[in-house]
Amino acid sequence: MARELTVGIAGLGAIGLHLARALDAGVEGLRLHSVAARDHAKARDNLAGFRAPPAIVGLADLAEADIVVEAAPAAVFEQVATAAIARGRIFVPSSVGALLPRMHLVEEARKTGARIVVPTGALLGLDAVRAAAEGEVSSVTIETRKPPRGLVGAPYLEQHGIDVMAVKDEKKLVFKGNAYDAAQGFPANVNVAAALALAGIGPQRTTIEIWADPHVTRNTHTIRVEAAAARLTMTIENVPSEENPRTGKITPLSILACLRGLTSTLKVGS
């Protein structure tokens, strides 16, 4: 067993608060060190019942912890990431889509000795995609279907005057392009595609379709990979979080599993 690692969490929303509660309940090898939240009074209320309430600090001060988890709005992604990487910490982003246009952070991490560990999130079969990408891959596509309310507020929709809440009867294709462009147009919606792109053939070659579908109640992702070693077809239906329909309930669980893997004696999967 590795030494105990301390964890700082940026954001106490649908992802961060769930993760903080799990860590406070006890995870071998990990200890909740600090949290950062925009509303300190609300954060104190949320942490009131904790066995060992963490310190509430500024975003940059989270880098005092060994591991910094980003579970905050995409607008502060770079601030959280830069501080953690500058200190040589382990940086675990939940807003993976925000990483794609900021790949210079990988070079900075290489210089400081930091690590950027991307959790699986809502993506099924990420290990298989990574394995296939060690060989020749001809195409990677992902089709994402979400209830219309789960897409509200995306910059791409606002720029193109697309009202997804007007989609009532038939599903509507609201975006088709590569994962890089999708990450900029839908920063809160395409973390699955971003993780897929990083695991596979890159954001420029990974194709994504985003559908507003009034007939689904779950965030549904279908991934197709054509590779020399295998043909993969995977579908996952994630239950949206009550607090934030853009986020699946599985996302904080995935981050928790990722953190366990950093200290576990037995680690299953690559």
| Cα–Cα distance, 164 to 270 (Å, whole number) | 38
Burial of residue 26 (number of CB atoms within 10 Å: 0-12, 13-18, 19+)? exposed
Catalytic, 221? Answer yes
pLDDT over 50 at 27, yes or no: yes
Share above pLDDT 90 across residues of the chain, in percent, rounded to a whole number? 81
pLDDT of residue 34: 98
In single-letter form, the type of residue at position 201 comes to I
Three-state DSSP class for residue 246: coil
In single-letter form, the type of residue at position 104 comes to H
- Predicted TM-score (pTM) of this structure: 0.90
pLDDT of residue 174: 97
Distance, first Cα to last Cα, the chain:
18
Strands 219-227 and 206-212: unpaired
Overall average pLDDT of the 44-64 stretch: 97
Three-state DSSP class for residue 256: helix
b/e sequence 97-132, b meaning 16+ C-beta within 10 Å: bbbbeeeebeeebeeeebbbebbbbbbbbbebbebb
Overall average pLDDT of the 188-212 stretch: 93
For 141-195, give the DSSP string. EEEEEE-GGGTTT-HHHHHTT--GGG--SS-EEEEEEEHHHHHHH-TTT-HHHHH
Overall average pLDDT of the 264-268 stretch: 83
Torsion on CA atoms 92, 97, 102, 106, rounded to nearest 10? 40
- pLDDT tens digits, one per residue of 146-171: 999 999 999 999 999 999 999 998 99
Share above pLDDT 70 across residues of the chain, in percent, rounded to a whole number? 98
Residue whose C-alpha is closest to residue 230's, from 122, 135, 120, 123: 135
Q: State the Cα angle at 61 between 55 and 67, rounded to 5°.
A: 85
| Cα–Cα distance, 179 to 162 (Å, whole number) | 20
Length of the chain: 270
pLDDT over 50 at 1, yes or no: no
Overall average pLDDT of the 111-130 stretch: 88
